Amino acid sequence: MTDYRRLRVALLGAGAVGSQVASLLRRHGDELADRAGAHLELVGIAVRNPDAPRETDLPRELFTTDAEQLITGADIVIELMGGIEPARAHLLHAINSGADVVTANKALLATHGPEIFEAADQVGAQVYYEAAAAGAIPIIRPLRDSLAGDRVQRIMGIVNGTTNYILDRMDSEGAEFADVLADAQRLGYAEADPTADIEGFDAAQKAAILASLAFHTTVPLDAVHREGITGVDKAMMDAARHAGYVIKLLAVCERLTESSEVRSTSSGVSRYASAPLLDNRTAYRDAISVRVYPALVRRDHPLASVRGANNAVFVQAEAAGNLMFYGAGAGGVQTASAVLGDVVSAARRHIAGGVGVGESTRANLPILPIDAVTTRYQITLEVDDQPGVLATVAGILSDGEVSIATVEQTVRSEPVPGNGGAGAEPASDTVARLVIGTHKAREANLSATVDRLAASGVVERVVSVLRVEGD
Amino acid sequence: MTDYRRLRVALLGAGAVGSQVASLLRRHGDELADRAGAHLELVGIAVRNPDAPRETDLPRELFTTDAEQLITGADIVIELMGGIEPARAHLLHAINSGADVVTANKALLATHGPEIFEAADQVGAQVYYEAAAAGAIPIIRPLRDSLAGDRVQRIMGIVNGTTNYILDRMDSEGAEFADVLADAQRLGYAEADPTADIEGFDAAQKAAILASLAFHTTVPLDAVHREGITGVDKAMMDAARHAGYVIKLLAVCERLTESSEVRSTSSGVSRYASAPLLDNRTAYRDAISVRVYPALVRRDHPLASVRGANNAVFVQAEAAGNLMFYGAGAGGVQTASAVLGDVVSAARRHIAGGVGVGESTRANLPILPIDAVTTRYQITLEVDDQPGVLATVAGILSDGEVSIATVEQTVRSEPVPGNGGAGAEPASDTVARLVIGTHKAREANLSATVDRLAASGVVERVVSVLRVEGD
């Protein structure tokens, strides 16, 4: 074999991803050496308990509790511990010891990314994190490098496998949220505490990472508007299907331009300073919005056909047009693929020399609050089925600057046996369902209008308010 | 603005892609500088005739006929001339002058890639070619870097927009090949001389590039088996639709493992020496096959829904599982996006220092001839509708080691008025159509068997023989 230089690789964490990374590093060592131009020597694996039973054939002597010592002298450090501490401290230590670092830690990058990137810049190290968003799907390099000469206008991502699995089964089986969630937990698609997934926290972290890359702007996690899927029920799913839509939890990263306004620029102290957050009515020329919520997606949109626990990222760029990246969003061995790609890249960079390329954040675009975002909406109301109700509802919408695109009215009688059902003459106890599709409306206007609808005498119940994305 | 270092960018060619690249470089200059960490100064555009009328607002003084002088002293050279010469000479000159090079020239890379890569290695330059395969779709970096730690098993790509446009319209409109081709030429989707597209030459070049990256092996263009779509007619399209398939021109790059055999290794003289080509019966452990042909793809496969002139690359990797990359495969501004991503990458590397990372080719896997490839087939025959014909056909297939998976027989009477049509009793002049789906069979066996079928007394006509991919 070629006489390659040896690079010392330290692994932090031996969970589902870490054990696969270690195993593949050892199993495909010669192959990876040929690709990297360096022998990748796994020098140790830092874990809390080296003697814990593990489903791997990794030799016991690789394991250590002394992460700090393992990191010292390593050329490449792979952080797969998850969580903020001690992962953050270890990564900073690794960077300051001269190592390049590979991490899949989206929570850490979404909250402490600037600190990590800044430290890497100081010493010329490089941070690799292909596995931190959308698992095995190569999306970081396409955004960071391939699209670096283009202007990304919009990303719509299905970036959380658990919620897509749940929504997909609700859609295809007509099942209720709680039943599918319980099933997903039993099958290992959802964790015992599913909060991070179903409340959209995981997707929000990934959205912050993708938006930072796409818009060359440091997007802090708290600038990401987040709603989960716990409010999505069978009735909403059925109504969506009936109207030709499917409900997906989307991470939407959008660039907005108001050509007539003057951009409010703020010059950050650090290259990685967070972008300024605009309030609702500040004028801007270019701004961005980053948000996670369940939204209606037309059945013929490519994202609608993303089934099960898969992920997909749909990117619209000024020059490139529409692109989509599809694949497994999670899973130990799938994520290990992304991690190992980063390890090979880090090794190649080590051999090639030069300093790391920092993150591109200098666009520093201001970030809009959700109230200033405009989207289309679908509002479903239960109203008294009486003359003049539609006129009242339309008037409230019009007063609120929400323009109606479509209205569908269905009459639903109370289920009195022998009554004749939906075809009977409307009586005063009959309820009509109004499904209103709006033109693009400003969120602030929309939510104020929905409040006024709910308080009006004619609306019995606001059944659902969903944004429509991807038209 | 930040005081960036200036990098001199030379552009060779001002066609559909080149003029977009020049225009975007000038229009988005400040934005690109922030991303690259360097000011990208377009110092000149080499063309044959600087005074030719152009649909751009580029200043006349940028244009020159003296490519050699333009290249000398440039930090980054973008080659968008196409063709082999003088593109090859210019790229080598640029590399030897110390520039990093960006090219979209698939023909050049598929035929002279090793020479270009070798020259870059000698001086530590880097060759970028994201635009050389699948246009704006980021596929080079995902294969080269993101999947560098994984083992790609298979790529199925729709990598030629013209042929996908033609096949898609034949499928959706039931139109004939010649009519759609004429229309495509009128609309600018196909060139006046459509040979490169419809005969699969363009797809074969891209297949060679993708396979080289995926399998870390230098795949020469003449090792790519190539068939075009000129033989695909309306009847084949209709039959495919009837059977739940669509016909797509696929670039298939496949890794094959025969676990019991010993791999025939050949150690090339150069790192970029072409992989050895195996003959039909040489034993191998790991080998690859690269081929372009129209194939049947099931309607529910993600590739089946790639419409119009779009491209998509479906990748199966050992750890990552199934991935798909989708987007525009051609177009001036779309391809310019990929080129500019490479320019920004090249600039970042210039600033970071270090030498270029060469191509990964050391796996040097042997390449199988088409005869040794196994796929499933669908064979459509017109046979005499007489007792015993099916038995004869089945016998010939069995003798040829081609195993039958499905058979569908339809009776087609000659269209005699008043005869009663397809429901009539079979007569001696009635023709039956047999559609035979095979299990995986070796191409050599299959083609010999089809020859024997054609020569047998019972087969009137071999209507079509199509491979089935992606099951």
| Tens digits of residue pLDDT in A356-372 | 998 999 899 999 999 99
Q: A394 or A258: which carries more pLDDT confidence? A: A394
Please tell me the predicted confidence (pLDDT) of residue A1. 53
Q: Is residue A366 part of a domain?
A: no
Q: What is the ipTM of this complex?
A: 0.91
Q: Do residues B124 and B164 both lie within one domain?
A: no
Q: Do residues A215 and A247 both lie within one domain?
A: yes
Which range is least confidently modeled, A129-138, A277-286, B3-12?
Answer: A277-286
- In this prediction, residues B180-203 reach a mean pLDDT of 95
Q: What integer best gives the mean pLDDT of chain A? A: 91
Bin B366: left if φ > 0, else alpha if -120 < ψ < 50, else beta: beta
pLDDT higher than threshold 60 for residue A421: no
Q: Is residue A365 part of a domain?
A: no
pLDDT higher than threshold 90 for residue B416: no
The structural domain count of chain A equals 3
Q: Is residue A367 part of a domain?
A: no
Please tell me the predicted confidence (pLDDT) of residue A264. 43
Q: Do residues B321 and B194 both lie within one domain?
A: yes
Tell whether A411 lies on the interface with B, counting CB pairs under 8 A: no
pLDDT higher than threshold 60 for residue A418: no
Tell whether B36 lies on the interface with A, counting CB pairs under 8 A: yes
Read off φ and ψ for residue A239, nearest 5 degrees: -65, -40
Q: Is the peptide bond before A86 cis (omega within 30 degrees of 0)?
A: yes
Which range is least confidently modeled, B227-236, B251-260, B261-270?
Answer: B261-270
Q: Collapsing DSSP states into helix, strand and coil, what is residue B253?
A: strand
Q: Do residues A83 and A176 both lie within one domain?
A: no
Q: Do residues A17 and A109 both lie within one domain?
A: yes
Residue that finishes a domain, picked among A266, A295, A330:
A330
Q: Do residues B340 and B294 both lie within one domain?
A: no
Q: Collapsing DSSP states into helix, strand and coil, what is residue A383?
A: strand
Query: Which is nearest to A15 in space by CA: A43, A49, A59?
Result: A49
The residue to which tokens 């139109």 are assigned:
B175
Across the beta sheet with A127-128, what order do the strands follow? Answer: A63-64, A38-46, A5-12, A76-79, A100-103, A127-128
- Based on the residue annotation, tell me whether A234 is a catalytic residue of this protein: no
pLDDT higher than threshold 90 for residue A137: yes
pLDDT higher than threshold 60 for residue B63: yes
- In this prediction, residues B203-215 reach a mean pLDDT of 97
Confidence class for position A387, pLDDT limits 50, 70, 90: confident
Please tell me the predicted confidence (pLDDT) of residue B55. 77
pLDDT higher than threshold 70 for residue A131: yes
Q: Is residue B359 part of a domain?
A: no
Amino acid identity for residue B221 in this structure: L
Provide DSSP, B3-46. -PEEEEEEEE--SHHHHHHHHHHHHTHHHHHHHHTEEEEEEEEE
Q: What does the alpha-carbon distance between residue A302 and residue B306 come to, in Å, rounded to a whole number?
A: 10
What percent of chain A shows pLDDT beyond 90? Answer: 80
Q: Smallest Cβ distance to A321: which of B138, B146, B334?
A: B334
Q: Is residue B404 part of a domain?
A: yes
Q: Do residues B165 and B304 both lie within one domain?
A: yes
Q: Is residue A189 part of a domain?
A: yes
Please tell me the predicted confidence (pLDDT) of residue A54. 82
Q: Which residues contact B97 (CB under 8 A, 6 or more apart)?
A: B71, B72, B73, B74
Pairs of residues, one from chain A and one from chain B, whose beta carbons lie less than 8 Å apart: 209
- In this prediction, residues A463-469 reach a mean pLDDT of 95
pLDDT higher than threshold 90 for residue A98: yes
- In this prediction, residues B234-262 reach a mean pLDDT of 86
Which range is least confidently modeled, A253-262, B235-244, B352-361?
Answer: A253-262
| Residue A344 with chain B: CB contacts under 8 Å | 145, 148-149
Q: What integer best gives the mean pLDDT of chain B? A: 91
Please tell me the predicted confidence (pLDDT) of residue B2. 67
| Residue A1 with chain B: CB contacts under 8 Å | none
Q: Do residues B387 and B462 both lie within one domain?
A: yes
User: Domain of A324: which CATH number?
Assistant: 3.30.360.10
Please tell me the predicted confidence (pLDDT) of residue A281. 61
User: Domain of B391: which CATH number?
Assistant: 3.30.70.260
Q: Is residue B357 part of a domain?
A: no
What is the domain range of residue A132?
5-136+336-352
Would you state the torsion angle of the CA atoms of residues A267, A355, A24, B268, taken in this order, to the nearest 10 degrees?
Answer: 140
User: Domain of A77: which CATH number?
Assistant: 3.40.50.720
- In this prediction, residues A287-308 reach a mean pLDDT of 95
pLDDT digits (tens, 9 = 90+) for B365-379: 999 999 999 999 999
Please tell me the predicted confidence (pLDDT) of residue B321. 96
Confirm if A460 and A384 have CB atoms less than 8 A apart.
yes
Q: Do residues B196 and B315 both lie within one domain?
A: yes
Q: Model pTM?
A: 0.92
Q: Do residues A319 and A345 both lie within one domain?
A: no
Burial (CB < 10 A; 0-12, 13-18, 19+), residue B214, is buried
Residue that finishes a domain, picked among A330, A362, A384:
A330
Q: Do residues A12 and A98 both lie within one domain?
A: yes
pLDDT higher than threshold 50 for residue B56: yes
CA distance A371 to chain B (A): 28
Amino acid identity for residue B441 in this structure: A
Q: Do residues A293 and A187 both lie within one domain?
A: yes
Question: What amino acid positions of B are annotated as catalytic residues?
Answer: 206
